[in-house]
Structure 1
Amino acid sequence: MSDQEQNPAKRPATILAGPYGHPFHAIAITIPIGAWVASLVFDIIGLISADPAPYATGSRVLIAIGLLGSIPAIIFGIHDYLRIPDRTRASSAATIHMGINFLVCGAYLFQFFLRTTTGEIPMFAFVFSIVSLLFLSFSGWLGGKLAYRWGIRVAAETTQGEAFRVPERP
């Protein structure tokens, strides 16, 4: 029996999750993470700028982009989550990873409404953004552990080994 057959977490639940060895979740998370990190950069620039209005608007737009981008990331993540066998270390880590991500999405939704169109960057929202990114970083570390250490939705070791075989000469 191959590694892929033994470990269902390596196989996609449906083609919507991405083909074998190429999960879409890992691609989709770049949008919310990038947008939310960029929103923090806009906050910092806005706080030290003489005119914070364009940066406050930009930060709010980036938060919205992150929220919209989190929708496919959540869908793809749930597809991968459903393949992890219950009552395993991987399922526990994945449950915590998912819970933190839902918490972070809620935090950014709150921040979106907290930031009004007054052209200012509220200090509370700035601090809240830093805390949200710290939680997101921990969740990302868990996600990395799931994929890179435990091989969730990563090709089986026998498949990966093909890349390191020296071809025989005819």
Structure 2
Amino acid sequence: MGHRLHPALVHFPVACWSLAVVADFAGFWFGEPAWRWSSGLLTVGCGTAIVAMLAGILELAYVPEGPAMRIAYWHMGAMLCACALFCTRLLLRLEDLRALEPNTVSLLLDAGGFLCLTVGGWLGGKLVYHHGVWRSDSH
């Protein structure tokens, strides 16, 4: 087939994590109906991130040595940091598998996770659009 799996999978955790951050901060204006969505989105985001990261590790062999490989390592580090922050955010605000209202710590984890997600996504885009990594015709 020639298509890489990692680029197709990353959209799920990116979308879920981004929407979870929006839901948490929207809780300031809309209350519980907004932030209640966050734990479900974080759960799906963390679960699909594991699958996307495994695919990325397997497809790392397609990254050429040199500048692209250095960017790939920075991309992996940023995304691992985002995953750790979002998983921590999820686990800290669950009680008996029920979501708790976001507090200052969870909002800081949201902000840090989103920052890492943004940097990691930008680096992933640089790999694809600048270095041509993961295009179906590469390697």
Which of the five TM-score ranges fits, normalised by the shorter chain?
0.7 to 0.9
Residue 17 of structure 2, aligned match among 36, 45, 63: 36
Q: 2:75 is matched by which residue type in structure 1?
A: H
Give the corresponding residue for 1:64: 43
Residue 124 of structure 2, aligned match among 138, 143, 148: 143
CA distance in 2, matches of 1:104, 1:119: 21
| Displacement of 1:24 | 1.8
| Displacement of 1:141 | 0.8
- Determine what percentage of the aligned residue pairs are the same residue: 27
CA distance in 1, matches of 2:42, 2:99: 16
* Paired residue secondary structure (2:57): helix
Structure having the higher helix fraction is 2
CA distance in 2, matches of 1:91, 1:119: 40
Across the two proteins, how many residue pairs are aligned to each other? 135
Q: Is the radius of gyration larger for structure 1 or structure 2? A: 1
Give the corresponding residue for 1:11: none
Instruction: Give structure 1 stretches of 5+ with no counterpart.
Output: 1-18, 158-170
> Residue 23 in 1 paired to residue 4 in 2?
yes
CA distance in 2, matches of 1:103, 1:63: 15
Instruction: Give the TM-score normalised by the residue count of structure 1.
Output: 0.72
Instruction: Give structure 2 stretches of 5+ with no counterpart.
Output: none
Give the corresponding residue for 1:48: 29
Give the corresponding residue for 1:107: 85
RMSD between aligned alpha carbons? 1.8
